[in-house]
Amino acid sequence: MAVIATVLFAFAAALLGPVGTAWAGSVHNGASQPVYSYTDAIRESVWVDTGTVVDGAPVRVAADIIRPREPAAHGRRIPVIMDASPYYSCCGRGNESQVKTYDANGQPVQFPLYYDNYFVPRGYAVVLVDLAGTNRSDGCEDVGGPLEVAGAKSVIDWINGRATAHSSRTGGTEVKASWADGSVGMIGKSWDGTIANGVAATGVDGLKTIVPISAISSWYDYYRSQGAPLYPGTPADLAGYVEDPATTARCATTQGELAAGAPYSGDWTSFWQQRDYVANADKVKASVFVVHGQQDLNVRTVHFGQWWDALAARGVPRKIWLSQTGHVDPFDYRRSAWVDTLHGWFDHYLMGVDNGIDRQPMADIERAPDQWSTDAKWPAPGTRLTTVHLNPGTLGGSSTNSGTTAFTDDPSRDENAWAADVDRSTPDKTVFSTRALDHDVRMSGSGDLTLTVGSSTTSAHLSAVLVDIGPAAIRNYLGSGEGISTLTTRSCWGEGTPGDTGCFLDTAADTSQVGATVFSRGWIDLGHYASLDHGRPLTPGTPYRMTVHLSPTDHVVPAGHRLALIVAGTDNGLIDPPDTKPTLTVDLSHSELRLPLVGGTGALPAGQQPRAAASQAAPLAVLTGRQPADLR
């Protein structure tokens, strides 16, 4: 299907027919067609009452709208594609950091990304919403909290006639969405997709589908992992990043709440509960198209996994794409297939087109750079959460666990150093490995590791990673593009104007040859052994039992490779260290690893034998160059 579109005026005339004929709309041959003029589209801004008050003043959020002129002239209403973001002025959207631009009268000119260029000619309105406290919206940025969610939700309410909008920030005339049919699809990467999750979790009527890309499902899990701090900052820092200085000065109370509600201790608070969308997954009415990079070390993969599982329990219509990239939009790693698929998704769930996308394979998985497979369901049919036994140096091949192992936290080391030294005995880690596999082993979904651990000090953090040991060409997810390279050529996706061309820099896969690949991770703070509500000091020498949640994955360890579990302390760059430097002793007889194996107990080869450590072996090649987190 061609995706570099132009407005085909002859075809448009054939669809629209001569004056006085019946309305045909934009759908033809099972898909919406680019029959409307992008140049002549209506561009306008409204300010929507959110029903919330900050410092005694009502909060209105700004929404910039672009919609085709022709449907309204024929008395036809159209659906809405909506992206609510805090980044439209401070930081930009997409690989080229596009921001909104306006003419001298304040009317919108550039709508970031390609949604407007591609979908407006096909009969959609595109609405870009400034989250509360950002760009042209009122209020304070509360980072995934009630103000943000209420602001985005209020725009859907306005589109459905349940909220009031105005022609200016200070009031002006009332504006009605008489052009809208009430159907809304929310989309966005990172923070934008996070708000789509949050709004869907309110159960708002009119939201028919969401497409969260690399999105957060619970803000606690963005900043903490089972008590372990992932970042030293607080949501107040993130708010300050997207607000202008004047807004930050006005929002001191909210800033204080953002700092106080997110204790560095890792304790679960009511602040986190307000920002846990998974807890309200039972309210979701919209279909959900989840997209995530399996090597996203910014919005880590726990977010899509727990959201997916909660939606599955609810029976929500779902689709999923999992790439090998880090924090990257599919427009930048699988552009043509992505736009085609998104087009079909919106046509089906917003225009009601029976195009069969709801009957296509549920999952697309990137197996190697630009090589994809599909599955009818996800996790893959035949997946079983399977107990894999642990013995010193050995993974699987036994009917029991036995022995002990110990390691000393070294905060200067990380998962890639551990993987490179998988066959070296080093004091900072312990390794459990299979022998070379005689057949492919696939994992699909989330696993866990229950450990009985004693610490030599009063505090300890623990990391667990699954490693595919063997040569592979993978996307360079730790590079500056997190798996993509940006080229100098451009291609156009839809219609354009001089102020919004619809043309974007092309990309290609950035690849690397490695000898070991970390593909699933988990981190905990042992001080939260009793509850996430309150951490406490450890008693040295006392064993504590905790379960590490391993991040969801869909990975095939090929025949000839080995599967390894590495358990260690601080994973440098991914969690912060504890305030002591403990030695941890693991009682394997009271520990258990469970993996989501396709084929269940028969997936791993039997008869594993312990391997002698190759202490003089050269380190394996792994990726280096981790980049700092950026929620965009």
| Residue of 82, 552, 632, 508 whose CA lies nearest to 320 | 552
d(CA 276, CA 267): 14
DSSP 3-state of 114: coil
d(CA 280, CA 360): 28
| 190: annotated active-site residue | yes
SS (H, E, C) 440-479: CEEEEECCEEEEEEEECCCCCEEEEEEEEEEEEEEECCCC
d(CA 408, CA 410): 6
Residue that is written with structure tokens 């930081």 in the block: 91
Estimate the share of the chain in helix, then strand, then coil, as percent rounded to the nearest 5: 20, 35, 45
One-letter amino acid for residue 440 of the chain: D
d(CA 6, CA 8): 6
Element (H, E) at 345: helix 335-351
CA torsion 594→595→601→604, rounded to 10°? -120
Q: DSSP class of residue 550?
A: P
Q: Name, in order, each residue with C-beta under 8 angstroms of 405's C-beta and a sequence gap of 6 or more.
A: 392, 430, 567, 585, 586, 588
The angle at the Cα of 258, spanning 185 to 552, to the nearest 5 degrees, equals: 55
DSSP codes of every residue in 289-303: EEEEETT-SSS-THH
> Which residue is catalytic, options 32, 190, 287, 520?
190
> Which residue is catalytic, options 130, 157, 225, 327?
327
Q: For 39-77, where are the E strands, in sequence order?
A: 42-54, 57-67
Enumerate the active-site residues.
Answer: 190, 296, 327
